[in-house]
């Protein structure tokens, strides 16, 4: 694979191993609101999508309106859990430090959550000033808007960018943006056969399950 001009990382499940924590808190919030979903169902419906998109899906497909107060409570509990439990993806710091190309983060999460996640895991200094959130664009993943916005802001053409993503929604967004995409299946949420089959079905350019393998991919 030719070396990209810009590497765009998703955050949750790619830089930080946050998805199991997020899923646990989301399922508890939905159960309190009267909607009981299995972890697999929640993963399928919501993984990689913004909070705004999640609310739209809940209203459209499940007839559930989650109040702002309930979301505020979930966010408070989530941030407390992050402070107690959140870990970086193994090998991510060394991989970032060895990258020859510039990089940034483009995540469906809100800016304050991205910053908190990266500060807790010691990664913030590597991304400060190059953080892009779905709150900055009209349409979140699987639309290409966020990746195109990040590339434009940093002065790169889409074809010159490589995206590292863990979710089907993120992979589809990268492909729709005309960018190459490495699917990462090394997060603790991504071990199931169903998840890996969903990722493989989208035919990303490469699939890796260890973050240092990204360096091997870029080395050709």
- In three-state secondary structure terms, 113 is helix
Assess if residue 10 is contained within a domain: yes
Tokens of residue 185, six digits: 């299946």
Assess if residue 124 is contained within a domain: yes
Co-location of 73 and 124 in the same domain:
no
Co-location of 55 and 108 in the same domain:
no
Q: Report the CATH number at residue 34.
A: 1.10.150.240
Co-location of 201 and 117 in the same domain:
yes
Co-location of 40 and 12 in the same domain:
no
Task: Give the domain-ending residue among 68, 85, 102.
Answer: 85
Strand 6-9 and strand 161-165: pairing? parallel
Assess if residue 133 is contained within a domain: yes
d(CA 184, CA 208): 5
Evaluate if residue 33 carries a pLDDT over 90.
no
d(CA 172, CA 180): 11
Q: What is the pLDDT of residue 120?
A: 98
Evaluate if residue 21 carries a pLDDT over 90.
yes
Tokens of residue 129, six digits: 């000033």
Q: What does pTM read for this prediction?
A: 0.91
Q: Are 48 and 167 in contact (CB under 8 A)?
A: yes
Q: From the CB of residue 212, how many other CB atoms can be counted at a distance below 10 Å?
A: 14
Evaluate if residue 162 carries a pLDDT over 90.
yes
Q: What is the pLDDT of residue 139?
A: 93
E strand intervals along the chain: 6-9, 103-107, 131-133, 161-165, 180-184, 206-208
Residue 121 makes CB contacts below 8 A (sequence gap 6+) with 15, 16, 86, 87, 88
Task: Give the domain-ending residue among 85, 100, 116.
Answer: 85
Q: Are 211 and 92 in contact (CB under 8 A)?
A: yes
Domain that holds residue 57: 19-85
Per-residue pLDDT of 94-152, as tens digits, reads 999 999 999 999 999 999 999 999 999 999 999 999 999 999 999 999 999 999 999 99
Per-residue pLDDT of 52-89, as tens digits, reads 788 888 888 888 888 888 888 888 999 999 999 999 99
**Residues facing 103 on adjacent strands:** 7
Nearest to 16 by CA among 99, 121, 94, 105: 121
Strand order in the sheet with 6-9: 131-133, 103-107, 6-9, 161-165, 180-184, 206-208
Co-location of 134 and 36 in the same domain:
no
Average pLDDT, the chain: 93
d(CA 145, CA 142): 9
d(CA 119, CA 104): 15
**Residues facing 161 on adjacent strands:** 6
Co-location of 114 and 193 in the same domain:
yes
Co-location of 42 and 111 in the same domain:
no
Co-location of 183 and 199 in the same domain:
yes
Q: What is the pLDDT of residue 38?
A: 87
Assess if residue 1 is contained within a domain: no
Phi, psi torsion values for 57, nearest 5 degrees? -65, -45
Co-location of 76 and 128 in the same domain:
no
Assess if residue 57 is contained within a domain: yes
Co-location of 130 and 49 in the same domain:
no
Co-location of 213 and 156 in the same domain:
yes
Co-location of 105 and 185 in the same domain:
yes
Task: Give the domain-ending residue among 85, 107, 142.
Answer: 85
- Overall number of domains in the chain: 2
Tokens of residue 95, six digits: 């991989």
Q: Report the CATH number at residue 203.
A: 3.40.50.1000
């Amino acid at each position: 694979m030719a070396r990209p001009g810009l590497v765009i990382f998703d955050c949750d499940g790619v830089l930080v191993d946050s998805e199991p924590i997020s899923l646990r808190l989301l399922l508890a919030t939905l159960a309190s609101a009267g909607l009981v979903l299995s972890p697999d169902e929640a993963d399928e419906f919501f993984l990689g999508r913004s909070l705004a998109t999640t609310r739209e899906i809940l209203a459209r497909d499940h007839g559930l309106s989650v109040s702002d107060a309930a979301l505020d409570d979930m966010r408070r509990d989530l941030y407390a859990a992050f402070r107690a439990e959140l870990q970086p993806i193994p090998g991510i710091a060394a991989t970032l430090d060895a990258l020859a190309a510039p990089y940034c983060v483009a995540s469906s999460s809100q800016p304050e959550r991205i910053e908190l996640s990266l500060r807790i895991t010691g990664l913030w200094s590597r991304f400060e000033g190059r953080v892009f959130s779905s709150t900055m664009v009209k349409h979140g993943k699987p639309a290409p808007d966020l990746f195109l916005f990040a590339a434009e802001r940093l002065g790169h053409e889409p074809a010159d960018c490589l995206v590292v993503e863990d979710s089907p929604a993120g992979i589809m967004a990268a492909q729709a943006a005309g960018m190459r995409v490495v699917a990462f299946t090394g997060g603790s949420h991504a071990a199931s056969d169903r998840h890996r089959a969903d990722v493989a079905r989208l035919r990303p350019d490469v699939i890796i399950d260890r973050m240092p393998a990204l360096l091997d991919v870029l080395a050709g």
